[in-house]
Amino acid sequence: MQELKHYINGAYVAGTSGRFSEVRNPATGEAIAKVPLATPAELDDAVAKAAVAQVEWARVNPQRRARVMMKFGRLIEDNMDALAECLSREHGKTLPDAKGDIQRGLEVIEVCMGAPAMLKGEFTGDAGPGIDLYAIRQPLGVVAGITPFNFPAMIPLWKMGPALVSGNAMILKPSERTPMTSLMLAELATEAGVPAGVLQVVHGDKETVDAILDNEVIQAVGFVGSTPIAQYIYGRAATNGKRAQCFGGAKNHMIIMPDADLDKAADALVGAGFGAAGERCMAVSVAVPVGKETADKLIEKLVPKIEKLKVAPYTAGDDTDYGPVITAQAKARIESLITSGVDQGATLVTDGRGMSIQGYENGYFVGPTLFDDVTPEMDIYKEEIFGPVLSQVRMETYEEALQLIIDNDYGNGTAIYTADGDTARDFVARVNVGMVGVNFPIPVPLSYYSFGGWKKSAFGDLDQYGPDAFKFYTKTKKVTSRWFSGIKDGVALNFKAMD
């Protein structure tokens, strides 16, 4: 079994804690690697080295840093197949889905190639007699990214791209369940020209996370994961004077109006609900048809589509629809929630419990599960299941359906399927969710916008990638400058001295 290492100063460094976590192939249950869990001292040492490297990196002009991102992007493209194979092996995603994971991260790197435009300051000449005002953007210094298991390439790239091109050094703490893809990306970043020490990959668990939050040199922390942990990290980071953007869980609803194209809506629900085994913060897990006839017809269209889904390991071919969930514990939790749905009175239309695939009996597979007659009091509605489970909540009117979403604790993504423009416009205007789709099931904004939810799905004022990322990873210095040629002497004791 492979023993992984930390990536420090452009080289692999063995862990010294003596503590390890296993990386398992979710399709087989086999332990494929063990990853060291860093001590606070190891983390502090990596941060100290990053702080030294960051000083010189910040002096590199933005255009040259952008050229490094350009080369980094080319290297990611050149190594797409190897990255996808690594990602699928440690996560379980199908190869096409793994490549999509990488591609969405690569798109953020492509936006980072335009960093000189994003990092421009402001200037006002002759703001007063001989006085110029200007503002410049400067890097924060050392920042940290704590990333989840479900997107082993995309979210690390979302964090490292804007942080590095803005002149910061980054400590990346990937999920201990899927650390190998991040290590490959770090190697490619070094090959692209990111100086040694500017990108450090430090593995760890809660002890390492707490060390990141308490380290005085680290100026900002970006996190993606569950809501309770997002709230914990945000609170501790803020207490320690750090910037923080922490993205948590979701319960994404899709309203289906009576005038919607039900074939398209059903296709969208299957793709958005079961793709990547439902392990996406933007997965649609709640279908909200309006009216009994809409609900009955939707179930009729969903069932045959769901029954055709192919669940298999990524090695089974590109026609596989989705693979296993991440761990045996995740499988057990999902199946327990399915059982709770049955016990609490929901109608189980398709049952994914107890799934076993010949030759992969130890894999963590859960079949596609569909519930009807779900109510907001049920655990399968209240909990973020993070698995291939779709719940149908029937509503009689559009207003009731909209209110269901408004009242939900989460506000990551939502969608509506309708043929009526007035209804769609009203939905967009009134729904209290950060990312909204109109006849579009997973409304993840393109990389030159920004990604982020509302309510308990996000903590912090700025979103991920796009313009918000450059604001998050820089601070603005405001300068008032005067040259005395032609200016009369005198003492000014009031704020009108610039007039």
C-alpha–C-alpha distance, residues 57 and 68, integer Å:
11
**DSSP bridge pairs for 476:** 137
Angle at the Cα of 33 from the Cα atoms of 174 and 227, rounded to 5 degrees = 30
Tokens 């194209």 locate to 261
Please list, residue by residue across 178-187, b when 16 or more beta carbons sit within 10 angstroms of its beta carbon and e when fewer do: bbbbbbbbbb
Query: For 376, which DSSP code?
Result: T
**Whole-Å CA distances, 417 to 256, 288, 373, 423:** 5, 10, 20, 10
CB atoms < 10 A from the CB of 170, how many?
28
CB atoms < 10 A from the CB of 461, how many?
12
User: Do strands 389-392 and 284-289 pair parallel, antiparallel, or not at all (unpaired)?
Assistant: parallel
Please list, residue by residue across 66-89, b when 16 or more beta carbons sit within 10 angstroms of its beta carbon and e when fewer do: bbbbbbbbebbeebeeebbebbbb
Catalytic residue among 86, 112, 246, 281: 281
Query: For 445, which DSSP code?
Result: P
**DSSP bridge pairs for 290:** 395
DSSP codes of every residue in 62-121: HHHHHHHHHHHHHHHHHTHHHHHHHHHHHH---HHHHHHHHHHHHHHHHHHTTHHHHT--
Q: Active site includes 246?
A: no
C-alpha–C-alpha distance, residues 250 and 396, integer Å:
24
**Which positions ≥6 away from 488 have C-beta within 8 Å?**
none
What are the tokens at 206? 């809660």
Element (H, E) at 142: strand 142-146
C-alpha of 450 from chain center: 11
> Do residues 485 and 128 touch, judged by C-beta distance below 8 A?
no
C-alpha–C-alpha distance, residues 323 and 329, integer Å:
16
- Give me the active site residues, please: 281
